[in-house]
Amino acid sequence: MRRMLCPAENLYVAQRSRAVLSCVLDGPVEPAVLAAAFEAVTAEHPTLLTRIVPDGDGHALAPLPAAERPRLRLRTGGAEAYLEEFNTPLPVGGPLTRAVLVSHPGTERHTLVLSIDHVITDGHSAIALLNAVWDRYRELVEGTAVRRAPVTELPGPISALLPAADPEETEKYLRQRVEQIGRHPVALVPFDTDARGEEAPGEAHRIEVRRLLLDAGATARLRERARAEGVSVHALISAVMLLVARRRLEGTGTRVLGCVSPVDLRSRLSPPVPAGRMVAAVTMHLQTLPVAEDTDILELAREAGAGIRDLLDRGDHVREMRIMPSAPQHPALHLGTVIVTNMGVVSGPRLPKGTRLTDVRLVPAREHYFPQAGRSPIMACVTSFDGRLAIEFPHHTACFSRPFMRELRDEVGASLLALAE
């Protein structure tokens, strides 16, 4: 059981990025049963029983030793424990997933934190894995679990499912994209901290997350406004992020900004790729847009939305996937002022009677941040669980400070609420 990583997957090895899912529960949770559920689901995904190893000029997935297979870990704590897990990496050569159940002392509150290497996952498969673990837990608690046939074959990379293409056409598309982006280099938001290594005396820098959460009413009104204006919620949020970023750049007038949007490939391949298949099935699209401090937000949203629609109509999302391996030679291909992901409306876990789900989160993280660069994109990860829209703003405190990110989050929130009203 060994598989070479495709060039696009090899990019994720270098980035060391991962999806971190968490859910907060009130009520009884049986750790031994949850551990059994996690091991059972893991055994049905052969990818989760592998590790990344060097192979020639790239890497491959190879079997994990039995003693190193991922198993549920238990610990006590609260919000700080979540951040500690969020900052715990998945090193190359080790397990590609980690599950930790954090029990809050003196209460029946628990938080499950599930980290998955981006080499083998995207948002859809990460959420599907979390839900599968809780489905199995519920079945074990209720006595309805059934034996499933073991799966031994590793799923192939998503790039192998793309329609055939002429290499010369792909090279031509790459040249066009490099030339296009080169004509309009995007501005990046400067960091507001220095690279001393500590934000305060005795306090080490780390990844943190600022969160914006709308209630169900505001979320519904925002969707209604988007429909009335003929744009998507994703386009509205992208426009808000671009304007908020523009206000944090020096100078007046119009600047060229870039918005990077991950594009889901699962539903756009034939046949579609199931959400439960553990592969990274996204490509990245950068569009450049002129933005001034007084740019009309709805016009900007229409332009951003039209850019995504045109990409899909032309079939360029497939071409973008084919040129992804060229990113190290042409980093500007995916360098945006903002990165706005959007999972759309997704379903959270279903639990056994007596245990209540109070929150679900999906936050991307990576291991390498570069404060010495002086500026970088700002990321906004958008999900909607249980009818509530959430935007997660992960950042490293050596780059963007806590006050900077709190102010940015609050400004985004005020803009979205104004649109909703």
Average pLDDT over all residues of the chain:
93
Same fold, 3-142 and 165-420: yes
Q: Is the pLDDT of residue 350 over 50?
A: yes
Give, in words, the CATH class of 3-142.
Answer: alpha beta
* Rounded mean pLDDT, 147-165: 87
Name the DSSP letter for residue 56.
T
Where does residue 203 rank: exposed (0-12), middle (13-18), buried (19+ CB within 10 A)?
Answer: exposed
Query: Looking at this protein, which amino acid is placed at residue 144?
Result: T
d(CA 371, CA 199): 12
CA nearest neighbour of 303 among 258, 367, 359, 337 = 258
* Rounded mean pLDDT, 206-235: 96
Q: Is the pLDDT of residue 199 over 70?
A: no
d(CA 287, CA 302): 13
d(CA 110, CA 134): 13
User: Mind listing the pLDDT tens digit for each residue in 102-135?
Assistant: 999 989 999 999 999 999 999 999 999 999 999 9
pLDDT of residue 202: 57
Q: Do residues 230 and 405 make contact, with C-beta atoms less than 8 angstroms apart?
A: no
pLDDT of residue 147: 80
Q: Is the pLDDT of residue 197 over 50?
A: no
Residue 148, number of CB atoms within 10 A of its CB: 11
* Rounded mean pLDDT, 298-305: 97
**Per-residue confidence at 200, pLDDT binned at 50, 70, 90?**
low
Find the helix or strand (DSSP H, E) in which 215 lies.
none
Q: Identify the residue with better confidence: 377 or 78.
A: 377
Give, in words, the CATH class of 165-420.
Answer: alpha beta
d(CA 189, CA 259): 13
The domain segmentation of the chain, as residue ranges, is 3-142, 165-420
Cα–Cα distances (Å) from 27 to 102, 107, 351, in that order, read: 13, 9, 10
Written as six digits, the tokens of 89 are 């990496």
Number of residues assigned to the chain? 421
pLDDT of residue 148: 79
Strands 97-103 and 73-76: parallel
CA nearest neighbour of 110 among 30, 18, 40 = 30
